[in-house]
Amino acid sequence: MSLYVVTLAEMKANLGISDAQDDTVLTRWLEGLQDRIEQALGRELLRQVGAEEILDGGERFVYVKRWPVESGTTPRVWLSTDQDWCDDNELDFDLQEFLVKWDRGKFSYGVGNYNWPGGFQNVRIVYTGGFVAAGESAGAGQSVMPEGIRRGTFIQGEFEWRNREHLGQRSINAQGASVNLAPAQLLPEVVRIIEAFKRHL
């Protein structure tokens, strides 16, 4: 079963659809809608155990894509200029060789005011983070999907589904030239609603 910001059943109820005739189309469309919401936010929303990212150093903070980082878990962090991730270059969480701002997915180097050592893709982070998918229960330390993201998804979804025959439609003008209308952009109202959940870079 696919996992979403909102469930297929929830979206169908929001659209007033009671039958299963369009379930396959709705499921594909829901995947695309969620992908566009995530692109606008610059982050991945759904919880993943063992998410891995390799980031550039040189900054005061590095930010992972999938946050909040799950409390009660222990992220692992390595520093290596040649991506030789081994015990010798793994930082110690217990010794506070790195710190985590759990709610923002923000990692800092040590307890002082230090930048991460400069380098290209020299910081590797493995962690558990993101929100529990719609329709699933949150366990200890886990976070449910914020209502702002869900509300924005419903608003955008209703607009797109009601106008689906026109979005991306080929149009013929008076001179016989054909153009493709652009796919739906996020509505200004939706952009405002989800703004607070954008990833910091």
What average pLDDT does the segment 25-36 reach?
92
Token pair, residue 83, equals 């991506």
Query: What's residue 18's pLDDT?
Result: 92
Q: Is residue 59 part of a domain?
A: yes
pLDDT digits (tens, 9 = 90+) for 1-19: 456 899 999 999 999 999 9
- Residue 21 and residue 81 in one domain: no
Only one residue has tokens 């703004």, namely: 195
Q: Give me the domain span that covers residue 37.
A: 8-45+143-197
**Is residue 135, in this structure, part of any structural domain at all?**
no
Q: How far apart are CA 136 and CA 140, in angstroms?
A: 13
Beta strands in the chain (DSSP E): 48-55, 61-63, 76-79, 98-101, 106-109, 123-129, 131-132, 143-144, 170-172, 178-180
Domain final residue, candidates 83, 104, 129:
129
Whether 80 is covered by a domain: the verdict is yes
Name the phi and psi angles at 8, rounded to 5: -60, -45
Is residue 3 one of the residues assigned to a domain?
no
pLDDT digits (tens, 9 = 90+) for 66-88: 999 999 999 999 999 999 999 99
> Do 81 and 32 belong to one domain?
no
157-166 long-range contacts (CB < 8 A, ≥24 apart) are 157/6, 157/11, 157/14, 157/15, 157/30, 157/33, 158/14, 158/15, 159/184, 159/187, 160/29, 160/33, 160/184, 161/15, 161/29, 164/29
Residue 2 belongs to a domain = no
Helix (H/G/I), strand (E/B), else coil: 155: helix
Q: How confident is the model at residue 109 (pLDDT cuts 50, 70, 90)?
A: very high
CA distance 114 to 178: 57
Q: Is residue 137 one of the residues assigned to a domain?
A: no
For residues 74 and 110, state if they share a domain: yes
d(CA 125, CA 104): 15
**Do 90 and 32 lie in a common domain?**
no
pLDDT in tens, 137-193: 999 989 999 999 999 999 999 999 988 776 655 555 656 565 555 566 899 999 999
Total domains in the fold of the chain: 2
* Domain shared by 120 and 59, yes or no: yes
Which pair of structure tokens corresponds to residue 72? 């009660």
Say if 71 falls within a structural domain: yes
C-alpha angle 109/113/117, rounded to 5°? 45
Comparing CA positions, the residue from 193, 171, 173 lying closest to residue 181 is 171
Q: Is the pTM of this model over 0.85?
A: no
> Which of 129, 159, 186 lies at the terminal end of a domain, its last residue?
129
pLDDT of residue 164: 79
Q: How sure is the predictor about 22, in pLDDT bands with cuts at 50, 70 and 90?
A: confident
Dihedral in degrees, nearest 10, Cα atoms 159, 44, 141, 106: -120
